[in-house]
Amino acid sequence: MKDALSGPDPREAAFQATVDSEGKIEPKDWMPEAYRKTLIRQISQHAHSEIIGMQPEGNWIGRAPTLRRKVALVAKVQDEAGHGLYLYSAAETLGASRDDMVDALIDGRAKYSTIFNYPTLTWADIGTIGWLVDGAAIINQVALCRTSYGPYARAMVRICKEESFHQRQGYEILVDLCQGTAEQKRMAQESLNRWWWPALMMFGPSDDNSPNSAQSMAWKIKRLSNDELRQRFVDQSVPQAEYLGLTIPDPDLKWNAERGHYDFGEVPWDEFMEVLKGNGPCNRQRMEARRKARDDGAWVREAALAHAAKRAARAEKSAA
Ligand SMILES: [Fe+2]
Ligand SMILES: [Fe+2]
């Protein structure tokens, strides 16, 4: 039972005052345990998404149509690895261990973005992923640059700069395809048809079904609601699709002058729930590839640790 004389924890009030005044919480500052746990979950899920997200695009590195496209794609996939590493490091500042986070991913306890459980069937998918998936990531992440936890907010600033390169390289692929032959344009349209709804799912369930949002908003580790972010994405993407001459596969999509936004149809949430449960088209394949990569790399990690230990022992000996 709480001591009636002690009242509310003054550290909690100071913490909330910092958050309310747009100050940053740093690793050594006091923070509520639930804030720490929620952030570890959010940041590690974000890190896992970056790492798993390398797979669908890695699938096309060996088949990129030109050297220039290959170089850009290699650089992009490498950037995603870097994003994963910044984010694992940001989570480590909260006391999480990298091994535990990776174990949670590998055992299927941790989640990552459902979008990466869809296959990349054509070259146009590489364009569409850059345009829509990185585009959606930017909308999420620009909001997170103002998040209350310092290391996370600072990682986001750098990540956003790289994401905007990713989005442009993807959009440029689609511009070329849409200005190319009829067959290339059909390939682009078919790709958009497959990726549009999964991209809208990237913002998570609608606000009525998003139970943790209110607390996360008060802590400023979430700055805009899922539905607000999704609306921004739709408003941004429609003119981009028009420029390409592509049709967004939503018969309910139309400009609403009164709201000053596009209205759009219902996201297929049943599909989202299935993919989230592990039953998407590529969930098993993605996890298997991740597991194999960890097993194949085990000897490198062991050798690096053995080498570091040997150097430390040698340094200690020469100091003595
Ligand atoms: Fe990324
Ligand atoms: Fe990206």
Cα of 15 from ligand 1 centre, angstroms: 30
Axis-axis angle for helices 33-52, 283-296 (nearest 10): 90
Cα 81–Cα 54–Cα 250 angle in degrees, nearest 5: 130
- What tokens does 83 get? 């994003």
Report how far residue 171's alpha carbon sits from residue 140's, in angstroms, rounded to the nearest whole number: 19
Structure tokens at 226: 């899922």
Using the mean position of ligand 1's atoms as its centre, give its distance from the Cα of residue 163 in Å: 6
pLDDT at 1 over 60: no
Q: What is the CA(28)–ligand 1 centre distance, in A?
A: 27
Give 152 Cα–ligand 1 centroid separation in angstroms: 14
What's the gap in Å between 133 CA and the centre of ligand 2? 8
CA Rg value for the chain = 22
Residue 83 near residue 162 (C-beta atoms within 8 A): yes
Ligand showing the shortest atom-to-Cα distance for residue 130? 2
CA distances (Å), origin 216, targets 37, 109, 173, 208:
12, 21, 37, 15
Interval between CA 35 and ligand 2 midpoint (Å): 27
pLDDT confidence tier of residue 5, bands split at 50, 70 and 90 = low
CA distance 277 to 209: 17
Q: Please give the distance, rounded to the nearest whole angstrom, from the Cα atom of residue 310 to the centre of ligand 1.
A: 36
Question: If you measure from the C-alpha of residue 218 to the centroid of ligand 1, how many angstroms do you get, rounded to a whole number?
Answer: 26
Helix (H) or strand (E) holding 262: strand 261-263
Query: Could you give the domains of the chain?
Result: 10-280 (1.20.1260.10)
Ligand 2 centre and the CA of 85: distance in Å?
13
Distance from residue 54's CA to the centre of ligand 2 (Å): 9
Tokens, residue 11: 């550290």
Q: Read off the pTM.
A: 0.92
- The tens digit of pLDDT for each residue in 27-79 reads 999 999 999 999 999 999 999 999 999 999 999 999 999 999 999 999 999 99
